[in-house]
């Protein structure tokens, strides 16, 4: 029994020596960790503009066209406009929770927030005011870098027939 144990021990040590351990210590070497720095250039700031509105709100109707014009002016790599309607029939409870997180005491609408800041602008904010808020956010250094890619292959629906 001891001989079998010793033989297995020697075989496992030999296996680790020849196949497993390359002697690389994390943090040493020229490259960065896996997934870090691959294909990265300069990380640009993207402004997330969240606006909370309601159906049938007159003030919201005044603000929406200005925000939509700004969304057309900026590239998606510069500005992302998200319109949330926390009280609509098909709204998720998460929309209201987000609205409540931003302003637990102020339930007036519309409210627009830039990159999670709790400083809101009202419906009377001019195009120039909104643009200056976005431009100010674009000048900041980003604190987070997120990348995503779609790897899913959608089925070819042309090959399906409805009977």
Rounded to whole angstroms, the Cα distance separating 53 from 61 reads 9
Predicted confidence (pLDDT) per residue in 153-162, tens digit: 666 656 655 5
The region of weakest confidence among 23-37, 71-85, 125-139 is 23-37
The more confident residue out of 35 and 3 is 3
Q: What are phi and psi of 5, to 5 degrees?
A: -60, -45
- The residue ranking higher by pLDDT, 15 or 145, is 145
Give the residue-averaged pLDDT of 111-125. Answer: 84
pLDDT in tens, 12-61: 665 555 555 444 444 444 444 444 555 556 778 889 999 888 888 888 88
pLDDT at 134: 92
Q: Report the chain's mean pLDDT, rounded to a whole number.
A: 75
Residue 127: band (very low, low, confident or very high) from pLDDT cuts 50, 70, 90: very high
pLDDT at residue 69 above 70? yes
Please give the order of strands across the beta sheet that includes 79-84: 79-84, 47-52, 111-114
pLDDT of residue 27: 47
| Selected residue with higher pLDDT from 116 and 148 | 116
Q: To which residue do tokens 């808020």 refer?
A: 133
The pLDDT, as a whole number, for residue 103 is 78
Calculate mean pLDDT across residues 91-116: 83
């Amino acid at each position: 029994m001891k001989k079998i144990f010793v033989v297995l021990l020697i075989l496992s040590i030999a296996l680790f020596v020849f196949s497993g351990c390359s002697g690389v210590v994390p943090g040493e070497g020229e490259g960065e960790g896996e997934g870090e720095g691959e294909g990265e250039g300069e990380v640009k700031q993207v402004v997330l503009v969240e606006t909370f509105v309601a159906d049938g709100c007159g003030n919201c109707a005044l603000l929406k066209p200005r925000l939509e014009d700004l969304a057309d002016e900026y590239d998606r790599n510069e500005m992302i406009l998200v319109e949330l309607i926390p009280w609509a029939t098909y709204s998720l409870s998460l929309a209201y929770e987000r609205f409540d997180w931003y302003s637990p005491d102020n339930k007036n609408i519309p409210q627009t927030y830039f990159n999670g800041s709790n400083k809101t602008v009202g419906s009377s904010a001019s195009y120039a005011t909104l643009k200056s808020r976005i431009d100010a956010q674009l000048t900041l250094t980003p604190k987070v870098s997120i990348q995503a890619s779609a790897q899913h292959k959608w089925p070819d629906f042309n090959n399906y027939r409805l009977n």
